[in-house]
């Protein structure tokens, strides 16, 4: 993943923190082929929905984008077992801390 400049001089990974956490934790998550495929489909669907949402204006776009991100995270968590959920949550916390 490439870094891109974010307003305010902050660096942000392309694809967002959830995608970054999944990539970083992939070896410890031990995803089955079926889980991996489902997660790829969730991200594909999210990209399509996000494209439609970004055509909207202002607050509506921001609210809908937040809802889409929340929905994507819930869908991914539903694919994982309890141990995998814990690994991913820990990785997300770790990444959040490193960005502050």
Q: Coil, strand or helix: which one is 73? A: helix
- Token pair recorded at residue 43: 């991200």
Query: What is residue 36's predicted lDDT score, i.e. its pLDDT?
Result: 96
Which is it for the CA torsion 91, 92, 97, 99, positive or negative? positive
If DSSP codes are grouped into helix, strand and coil, which group holds residue 14? coil
User: What DSSP state is assigned to residue 56?
Assistant: S
Q: Which candidate, 66, 16, 4, 61, places its Cα nearest to that of 43?
A: 16
pLDDT for residue 20 is more than 90? yes
Residue 55's pLDDT is 83
**Is the entire prediction scored with pTM above 0.85?**
no
């Amino acid at each position: 993943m490439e870094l891109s400049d974010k307003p305010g001089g902050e660096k942000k990974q392309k694809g967002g923190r959830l995608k970054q956490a999944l990539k970083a934790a992939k070896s410890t998550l031990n995803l089955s082929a079926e889980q991996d495929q489902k997660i790829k489909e969730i991200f594909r669907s999210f990209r399509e929905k996000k494209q439609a949402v970004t055509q909207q204006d202002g607050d509506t776009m921001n609210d809908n984008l937040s809802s889409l991100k929340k929905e994507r995270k819930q869908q991914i968590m539903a694919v994982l077992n309890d141990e995998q959920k814990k690994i991913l949550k820990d990785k997300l916390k770790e990444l959040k801390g490193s960005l502050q």
